[in-house]
Amino acid sequence: MSKVTPYLWYDSQAEEAVKLYTSLIPNSKITEVRYLDADSAKMTGKEEGSVFTLSFELDGVKYGAMNAGPHFKFNEAVSFVINCDSQEEVDKYWSALTADGGQESQCGWLKDKFGLSWQITPKRLFELIAKGGDVTKRVLNALYQMKKIDIQKLEDAAGGK
């Protein structure tokens, strides 16, 4: 077990969120679900038998999630990055994570319907930026015009089109 495990705080949607994330990302699973007993339910103001915490893995990395009330909200100071090999992957994650009330942002950033920030980033972006000079400038200029990243437009910019 790792000494450090990122933990996500939800009002009451932890189970729904974790099911979405583990269904989207390969090599992912829910490893434990803990429910509120009568005493804990009374202390938290939640229903007895409802999900309180979950342990899960996303691509083998361990996380926790809890239903702890509306006291704290996610913000862009923390985001999860999904490095994609293709435009199809970018499209798949983008569509799934912006569905049902998710919000698009700039340069491959989005918020899912639970408010968690994600960066859906093609690996090709970093390869093109690493070229340096005018190529990097053109690629970044193209990127700054995008919400969901379009790999072909980045390639076109790198080539001077």
Q: What is the rounded distance in angstroms from the CA atom of residue 18 to the CA atom of residue 29?
A: 9
Same domain for 38 and 53? yes
Supply the mean pLDDT for the chain. 95
Q: What is the CATH number of the domain that holds 49?
A: 3.10.180.10
- Residue 40, pLDDT score: 87
Dihedral class, residue 132 (left if φ above 0, else alpha if ψ from -120 to 50, else beta): left
Instruction: Classify 86 as helix, strand or coil.
Output: coil
- pLDDT at position 77 over 70: yes
Whole-number CA gyration radius for the chain = 19
Domain residue limits at 129 = 74-161
Q: 119: which strand partners?
A: 81, 109
- Residue 45, pLDDT score: 84
Q: What is the rounded distance in angstroms from the CA atom of residue 104 to the CA atom of residue 82?
A: 15
Question: In the chain, where does DSSP find H-type helix?
Answer: 14-24, 38-44, 87-98, 123-129, 133-143, 151-158
Two tokens at 126? Answer: 């970093």
The count of structural domains within the chain is 2
- Residue 28, pLDDT score: 98
Two tokens at 99? Answer: 């569905």
Each residue's pLDDT tens digit, 6-61: 999 999 999 999 999 999 999 999 999 999 999 988 888 889 999 999 999 999 99
Each residue's pLDDT tens digit, 103-118: 999 999 999 999 999 9
Same domain for 106 and 118? yes
Same domain for 61 and 92? no
The structure's pTM equals 0.92
Each residue's pLDDT tens digit, 125-158: 999 999 999 999 999 999 999 999 999 999 999 9
Same domain for 21 and 91? no
- pLDDT at position 1 over 70: no
- pLDDT at position 2 over 80: no
Each residue's pLDDT tens digit, 83-106: 999 999 999 999 999 999 999 999
